[in-house]
Chain A
Amino acid sequence: MKTIEFINVTKRYDDLLAIDKVNFTIQAGELFGLLGPNGAGKSTLLSMLCGIVNIDKGDIKVGGYSIKKNPKQVKRAIGYVPQELAIFENLSLRDNLDYFAGMYHLKGKSKKERIEEALALTGLQERHKDKVKKLSGGMKRRLNIACAILHHPEVLIMDEPTVGIDPQSRNHILAFTNQLNKQNGTTIIYTSHYMEEIQSLCDKLLILDEGREIINGTKEEILRSVIDETTLKIRVVNKKPEIIQRIRGLKDVVEAFFEEDNVKVIVKSRDYKIEDVLMILRESGSQIINMTIEQPNLETVFLSLTGRQLRD
């Protein structure tokens, strides 16, 4: 099984420091998310892992092999789905797969089987004879992935595989990624600037901004470490001042106040007792119209750590 270690990785493009001393480890079998806004350096980091661009300082190791010293061993273990479409527009789907299968040293019967398998996994069997240029954007994205899994890589690196496509293809790709990780045990590095995708898909993640690590850990750790408070927003008619006092008296409540027509209650951690708050409101005769719980999410994590929105 292959652990992936990023050791003090640094990359500079002229006077732009694209990656600045990034250190982290991905355990074998993880579905690891790499989150960051445009230009954060996600693709640069992955390109270095794949041996496409050189590492200025530091090293990346896959299963103990350094990409600098043993690129062969590293490259054999990985499958790479580039952010841009890396397929031939003028060839058919099958010819594309055939070409890359050949590049992965597959031959004869096993090559045919792997091509069928990749077509099936990405749901493209019916279109296998069509020229790529006739496909929809989502199908091209799926083919882009299919080309990277022919050789059954132990590590699959996916750079924004769902960018700019319809929800149907997107769900297909997310489900496929999850399946590959859970059923085949493939280690997956998944990059996106959609925090919802990373949040629903990945167990562990790293947030990158301007080439620097912002935070790194399991999803829960990250969410909890940054925001240990949850906000309940309850819209009521007939608000009475004494309810604020009573709510403040509850355990784990940090603060309670009126905000226009809403009662806002900030509770510590995520172990809040929503029933208690509702009980107080009902006993005081307030009528509840609407209620929202503002869950912490990666967007708010990013916001609180960098002071900026994840997406501009």
Chain B
Amino acid sequence: MRTLVQINKELKYFKSSLLSFLFFFVIAPIVLGLLYGALYERMLTPDIEINPIKIFIAETEGDIYLPLVRQLLATQELDFIDLEKVPPNEIKRMTRTNSSSLGIKEEEKTVQILNYGPGSPEKSIVKNLVFPLITTLSYLDVQNMTSEQRTELIQQYLLLSNKDFTTIEDVAVVQKLTSYQLMVVSVYIAMSFFITVTFVTNFLREKESAVLCRLFSIDITKKSIYINTVLAVFIISLMLVTTHSFIAYHILLKTKFSFLEMFILNIFHAGFLAGLYGACIGLFGSEFLFKTIIISLLSIIMFLGGSFYPIDTNPNLANFVYLMPNYNLLKLYEGIFLDFSLEELIYPLSFMFGAIVVLFLVGMYKFSVREGSIC
């Protein structure tokens, strides 16, 4: 009953500053996240453009390696390579007249690559594909292979070589969030902590603590006052977090995810914010002390949990990340976007659940034993 009264009151307060709440806790994080995402994207992909390259190939009867080399270069994955068969006596001239081309021929079980022009990324790519292939083939009994076996071999080889200029990367690489998803989620998790800061500050404001003093004079236990306010903050946080998820991930980033799973995750997220709120109102009595400590604490958490840069790039800190709420929340969002199984998410889920329970209980204990002050 009084819980409803409390929630109703918090909602009225929330409504009276709805615009600033929406701005700070929905719009601004999205804009910042997209901005970071764009920066991150540029950081990850240096601008190399692959141009088409002409390859002259002089294949003769009895060549052992050349058919396979041709087959390799002709695979559709390497669509920037334009292969042309030429007679063996023409190859030098042809290659010379086209300085951005390469020539390939075989003489006495040796493959030669002819180059008369300056080097280029495309030329390096082709060389890096061909030489290791020959080395590999020299160990195999190529001559007695069927054509299927050869095709298979080429595919395997392409997979193994795993060059990031080809689209075959998709087959071999683990799934990852896009830069935009990663940054929008990380930035939001970090900024959502300030929902808690806002509500705690509000609670600690002088006038509000006189309200608390009045509440202590009413026949309502400290425990219920605590539960009521934490619950009210939980509901408001849940509304904000859900709104953000819907707008950012569904509408803007067009990510596919299950709404139910997302809602459950939002409950964890909002639960953590409310738990942190509870611990703070239980532990802190003055706004100044609270702000000093919480800002330092959040900075550390954001640093160690990698909210503003990809944490994987810093192996020294990698051990701490598992203890950081922002990192674990990020893992959960990632799990939902990439459709991880429940087993894969069991650690972050248990961590978040444990953290929520501990924060809530610590706050409740400290709040109930705290003596009011005169007002």
Please give the residue numbers on chain A whose beta carbons come within 8 Å of chain B beta carbons, in ascending order: 43-44, 47, 50-54, 71-72, 75-76, 78, 80, 82-91, 95, 98-100, 102-105, 107, 131, 147-148
Against A, the Cβ 8 Å flags (1 = close, 0 = not) of B329-372 are 00000000000000000000000000000000000000000011
Is there an interface contact between A90 and B5, defined as CB atoms closer than 8 Å? no
Q: What does DSSP make chain A's interface, helix, strand, loop or mixed?
A: loop
Is there an interface contact between A85 and B218, defined as CB atoms closer than 8 Å? no
Closest beta carbon of chain A to B335's beta carbon, Å:
39
In the assembled complex, the Cα of A87 lies from the Cα of B215 at a distance in Å of: 11
Is there an interface contact between A90 and B211, defined as CB atoms closer than 8 Å? no
In the assembled complex, the Cα of A104 lies from the Cα of B217 at a distance in Å of: 11
Partner of A47, one of B5, B207, B374: B374
Partner of A102, one of B2, B211, B372, B374: B2
User: Residues of A contacting B215 with CB < 8 Å?
Assistant: 103
User: Residues of B contacting A82 with CB < 8 Å?
Assistant: 210, 213-214, 217, 375
Is there an interface contact between B207 and A85, defined as CB atoms closer than 8 Å? yes
Interface with A: B9-17, B186-194, B268-276, which one?
B9-17
Known: A53-B371, A75-B219. 12 other contacts (CB 8 A): A47-B375, A52-B213, A53-B372, A72-B219, A83-B375, A84-B207, A84-B210, A89-B207, A90-B16, A91-B13, A102-B4, A102-B8
Known: A95-B9, A103-B218. A85 touches B374 (CB 8 A): no
User: Residues of A contacting B213 with CB < 8 Å?
Assistant: 47, 52, 82, 84, 86
Is there an interface contact between A50 and B219, defined as CB atoms closer than 8 Å? no
Partner of B206, one of A80, A84, A99: A84
6 tightest CB-CB pairs across the interface, nearest first? A102-B5, A50-B217, A75-B219, A86-B214, A80-B217, A84-B210
Closest beta carbon of chain B to A235's beta carbon, Å:
48
In the assembled complex, the Cα of A56 lies from the Cα of B374 at a distance in Å of: 15
The number of A-B residue pairs with CB atoms under 8 Å apart is 93
In the assembled complex, the Cα of A244 lies from the Cα of B142 at a distance in Å of: 145
Q: Judge whether B44 is part of the interface by a CB distance below 8 angstroms.
A: no
Q: Judge whether B251 is part of the interface by a CB distance below 8 angstroms.
A: no
Is there an interface contact between A86 and B375, defined as CB atoms closer than 8 Å? yes
User: Residues of B contacting A76 with CB < 8 Å?
Assistant: 219
Is there an interface contact between A91 and B217, defined as CB atoms closer than 8 Å? no
Q: What does DSSP make chain B's interface, helix, strand, loop or mixed?
A: helix
Is there an interface contact between A90 and B372, defined as CB atoms closer than 8 Å? no
Closest beta carbon of chain A to B1's beta carbon, Å:
8
Closest beta carbon of chain A to B203's beta carbon, Å:
11
Known: A52-B374, A53-B374. A88 touches B211 (CB 8 A): yes
Is there an interface contact between B217 and A51, defined as CB atoms closer than 8 Å? yes
Sample 22 A-B pairs with CB under 8 A, ordered by A number.
Answer: A44-B374, A47-B374, A50-B217, A51-B217, A52-B373, A52-B375, A53-B374, A54-B371, A71-B219, A75-B217, A75-B218, A78-B217, A80-B214, A80-B217, A82-B214, A82-B217, A86-B207, A86-B210, A98-B9, A102-B1, A103-B218, A147-B214
Closest beta carbon of chain B to A195's beta carbon, Å:
22
Closest beta carbon of chain A to B60's beta carbon, Å:
88
Against A, the Cβ 8 Å flags (1 = close, 0 = not) of B289-308 are 00000000000000000000
User: Residues of B contacting A91 with CB < 8 Å?
Assistant: 9, 12-13, 16
In the assembled complex, the Cα of A85 lies from the Cα of B213 at a distance in Å of: 10
In the assembled complex, the Cα of A114 lies from the Cα of B366 at a distance in Å of: 35
Is there an interface contact between A88 and B374, defined as CB atoms closer than 8 Å? no
In the assembled complex, the Cα of A104 lies from the Cα of B12 at a distance in Å of: 19
Is there an interface contact between A88 and B210, defined as CB atoms closer than 8 Å? no
Is there an interface contact between A52 and B372, defined as CB atoms closer than 8 Å? yes
Closest beta carbon of chain B to A110's beta carbon, Å:
14
Is there an interface contact between A99 and B5, defined as CB atoms closer than 8 Å? yes
Closest beta carbon of chain A to B200's beta carbon, Å:
16
Closest beta carbon of chain A to B220's beta carbon, Å:
6
In the assembled complex, the Cα of A131 lies from the Cα of B17 at a distance in Å of: 13
User: Residues of B contacting A43 with CB < 8 Å?
Assistant: 374-375
In the assembled complex, the Cα of A76 lies from the Cα of B374 at a distance in Å of: 19
User: Residues of B contacting A103 with CB < 8 Å?
Assistant: 2, 5, 215, 218, 220
Closest beta carbon of chain A to B316's beta carbon, Å:
46
In the assembled complex, the Cα of A85 lies from the Cα of B205 at a distance in Å of: 12
Closest beta carbon of chain B to A189's beta carbon, Å:
13
Is there an interface contact between A88 and B13, defined as CB atoms closer than 8 Å? yes
Q: Judge whether B24 is part of the interface by a CB distance below 8 angstroms.
A: no
In the assembled complex, the Cα of A78 lies from the Cα of B218 at a distance in Å of: 8
Q: Judge whether B246 is part of the interface by a CB distance below 8 angstroms.
A: no
Closest beta carbon of chain A to B287's beta carbon, Å:
15
In the assembled complex, the Cα of A45 lies from the Cα of B53 at a distance in Å of: 92
Q: Judge whether B216 is part of the interface by a CB distance below 8 angstroms.
A: yes
Closest beta carbon of chain B to A99's beta carbon, Å:
5
In the assembled complex, the Cα of A202 lies from the Cα of B210 at a distance in Å of: 26
Closest beta carbon of chain B to A66's beta carbon, Å:
15
In the assembled complex, the Cα of A231 lies from the Cα of B13 at a distance in Å of: 59
User: Residues of A contacting B8 with CB < 8 Å?
Assistant: 98-99, 102
Most chain B beta-carbon neighbours within 10 Å: one of A44, A90, A98 = A90
User: Residues of A contacting B373 with CB < 8 Å?
Assistant: 52-53
Closest beta carbon of chain A to B349's beta carbon, Å:
36
In the assembled complex, the Cα of A89 lies from the Cα of B16 at a distance in Å of: 11
Most chain A beta-carbon neighbours within 10 Å: one of B16, B17, B216 = B216
Closest beta carbon of chain B to A136's beta carbon, Å:
16
User: Residues of B contacting A107 with CB < 8 Å?
Assistant: 1
Most chain A beta-carbon neighbours within 10 Å: one of B8, B220, B374, B375 = B374
